[in-house]
């Protein structure tokens, strides 16, 4: 019995000692952090400068660390690779193993570029944080070549392409209210799309410009990034005429040739024709099909006029036709058609009715239709509630800008015309 008791005591003591060993915290060996730039000097504004951060552990690496570069004034910093490169080295006869982390720096101003020390987070085998380490600040001299506008983003690369597409083609037939879409695609070697210049899209008076957010699609192959950016802009023509849409350009510094190059998307000239006015069918048969009640009233009025005036009836018919033509081309009728179109939720018919009404207003008139144009040409949404809101805004605009709202023109001639022969 005594022997069993002694054995039990020894087992308990051994377990306690084992538990003490297990709960001892892991000691993290401080690594060596080395930071270098390539090139260290002679780089120009906008050129890709590689920043290498080597984190090396003696003998073995418990877990790959995390490395971050603080914000650097006067430069953009990117990291394109999700995994670092494993490396081995021997320092003073001591073997080291670790990882190299690569960052891409794009200087945005000339002079001395100072990159702050890298922040390294050390991790245990289970991924928990065990400590912090820090590298050293590094410097580089950045040059601004002659002819470079350093106040704007500069692209420095060995290759840049710019392509332009129009839809529809510029020589197509256009009328007021039509639009043309311009698509510009740029690709640059070793330059991310975010570093490319925001193009300036301008247009003459009576042409509205709607710029969509750019589309970017950067590709990375073995540490080399190829920037790819697509810009789309829509031009809407408000009236008839000939309009010159200006060229846009992307200047870039050719690292191979050592000179400034400009990639240009040429401008175009678009001719917008006035819409043809379709002849109005004012026959009683056509009116009877569309508006039987009005057709009957017209017939009765015509008979009364003929019976009363004899040959003056011919004059009454001419007056009737003239008044119908005036009504069909009046601002009031065009506005009524626009309000009727606003009863629906399709922005297309509403915009066409708006253009018909707009053609009857002064050239400096600016009705509130920004939301409608954004829905049609900028990819925005449109609803029946927005149609109703637009109708209210247009009524208010017309009431505030028309000192004399054209009165309704009756399609019927006067019963007692004056001056008839």
Would you say 341 and 348 are in contact if contact means Cβ atoms under 8 Å apart?
no
Spell 210-237 as b/e; 16+ CB within 10 A means b.
beeebeeebeeeeeebbbbbbbbbbbbb
191 domain-assigned: yes
Domain end point (choices 216, 238, 272)? 272
19 domain-assigned: no
2 domain-assigned: no
Identify whether residues 129 and 185 lie together within a single domain. Answer: no
Identify whether residues 130 and 160 lie together within a single domain. Answer: no
Identify whether residues 288 and 390 lie together within a single domain. Answer: yes
Identify whether residues 354 and 380 lie together within a single domain. Answer: yes
Identify whether residues 138 and 190 lie together within a single domain. Answer: no
Domain boundaries, position 205: 155-272
Residue 403 confidence (pLDDT): 45
Domain count, the chain: 3
Residue 302 confidence (pLDDT): 64
Output the domain CATH number for residue 53.
2.60.40.740
* C-alpha to C-alpha distance for 51 and 111, rounded to whole angstroms: 18
Identify whether residues 385 and 295 lie together within a single domain. Answer: yes
Domain end point (choices 82, 117, 143)? 143
Identify whether residues 103 and 170 lie together within a single domain. Answer: no
Identify whether residues 133 and 213 lie together within a single domain. Answer: no
> For residue 168, how many other CB atoms are within 10 A of its CB?
12
Domain end point (choices 272, 292, 310)? 272
Output the domain CATH number for residue 210.
2.60.40
DSSP string, 156-222: EES-EEEEEEEES-TTS-B-TT-EEEEEEEEEEET--GGGS--------TTEEEEEPPPEE--EEET
Residue 83 confidence (pLDDT): 65
Identify whether residues 101 and 197 lie together within a single domain. Answer: no
9 domain-assigned: no
Q: How many CA atoms lie within 13 A of 224 on its CB side?
A: 8
Residue 79 confidence (pLDDT): 82
Q: How far, in whole angstroms, is CA 6 from its chain's centroid? A: 81
Identify whether residues 346 and 396 lie together within a single domain. Answer: yes
Angle between helix 384-401 and helix 331-341 axes, rounded to 10 deg: 160
What single DSSP character describes residue 273?
P
23 domain-assigned: no
* Structure tokens, 369: 């239709």
Render each residue's pLDDT in the chain as its tens digit; 421 residues: 555 544 444 444 544 444 443 444 454 578 999 999 999 888 999 999 999 999 999 989 999 999 999 999 889 888 866 667 899 998 888 999 999 999 999 998 899 999 999 999 999 999 999 999 999 999 999 998 888 887 777 899 999 999 999 999 999 999 998 999 999 999 999 988 888 888 989 999 999 999 999 999 888 877 678 999 999 999 999 999 999 999 999 999 999 999 999 999 999 999 999 877 655 555 555 555 566 666 666 666 666 655 555 555 566 667 777 788 888 888 888 888 989 888 888 888 888 888 888 888 887 777 888 888 888 777 678 888 888 888 888 888 888 776 444 444 444 455 455 444 4
Identify whether residues 181 and 261 lie together within a single domain. Answer: yes
60 domain-assigned: yes
- For the segment 300-336, what is each residue's pLDDT rounded down to a tens digit? 666 665 555 555 556 666 777 778 888 888 888 888 8
416 domain-assigned: no
This prediction has a pTM of: 0.60
Residue 406 confidence (pLDDT): 45
Identify whether residues 136 and 159 lie together within a single domain. Answer: no
345 domain-assigned: yes
């Amino acid at each position: 019995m005594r022997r069993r008791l002694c054995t039990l005591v020894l087992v308990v003591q051994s377990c306690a000692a084992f538990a003490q060993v297990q709960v001892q915290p892991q000691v993290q060996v401080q690594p060596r952090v080395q930071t270098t730039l390539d090139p260290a000097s002679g780089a120009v504004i906008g050129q890709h400068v590689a920043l290498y951060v080597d984190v090396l552990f003696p003998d073995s690496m418990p877990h790959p660390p995390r490395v971050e570069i603080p914000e650097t004034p006067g430069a953009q910093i990117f990291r394109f690779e999700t995994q670092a490169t494993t490396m081995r080295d021997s320092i003073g006869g001591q073997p080291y193993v670790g990882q190299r982390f690569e960052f891409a720096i794009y200087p945005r101003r000339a002079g001395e570029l100072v990159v702050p020390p890298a922040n390294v987070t050390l991790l245990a085998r289970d991924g928990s944080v065990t400590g912090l380490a820090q590298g050293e600040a590094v410097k580089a001299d950045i040059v601004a070549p002659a002819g470079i506008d350093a106040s704007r983003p500069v692209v420095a690369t060995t290759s840049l392409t710019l392509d332009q597409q129009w839809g529809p083609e510029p020589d197509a037939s256009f009328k007021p209210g039509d639009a043309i879409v311009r698509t510009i695609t740029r690709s640059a070697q070793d330059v991310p799309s975010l570093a490319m210049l925001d193009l300036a899209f301008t247009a003459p008076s009576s042409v509205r410009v709607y710029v969509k957010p750019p589309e970017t699609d950067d590709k990375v192959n073995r540490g080399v990034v190829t920037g790819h950016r697509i810009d789309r802009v829509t031009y809407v023509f408000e009236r008839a005429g000939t309009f010159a849409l200006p060229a846009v350009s992307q200047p870039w510094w050719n690292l191979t040739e050592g000179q400034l190059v400009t990639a240009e998307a040429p401008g175009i000239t678009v001719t917008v024709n006035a819409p043809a006015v379709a002849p109005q069918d004012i026959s009683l048969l056509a009116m009877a099909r569309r508006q039987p009640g009005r057709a009957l009233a017209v017939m009765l009025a015509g008979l009364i006029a003929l019976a009363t005036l004899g040959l003056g009836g011919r004059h009454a018919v001419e007056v009737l036709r003239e008044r119908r033509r005036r009504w069909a081309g009046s601002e009031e009728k065009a506005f009524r058609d626009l309000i009727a179109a606003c009863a629906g939720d399709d922005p297309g018919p509403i915009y066409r009715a708006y253009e018909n009404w707009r053609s009857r207003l002064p050239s400096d008139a600016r009705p509130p239709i920004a939301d409608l144009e954004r829905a049609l040409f900028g990819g925005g949404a449109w609803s029946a509630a927005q149609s109703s809101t637009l109708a209210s805004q247009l009524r208010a605009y017309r009431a505030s800008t028309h000192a004399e709202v054209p009165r309704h023109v009756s399609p019927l001639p006067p019963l007692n015309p004056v001056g008839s022969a």
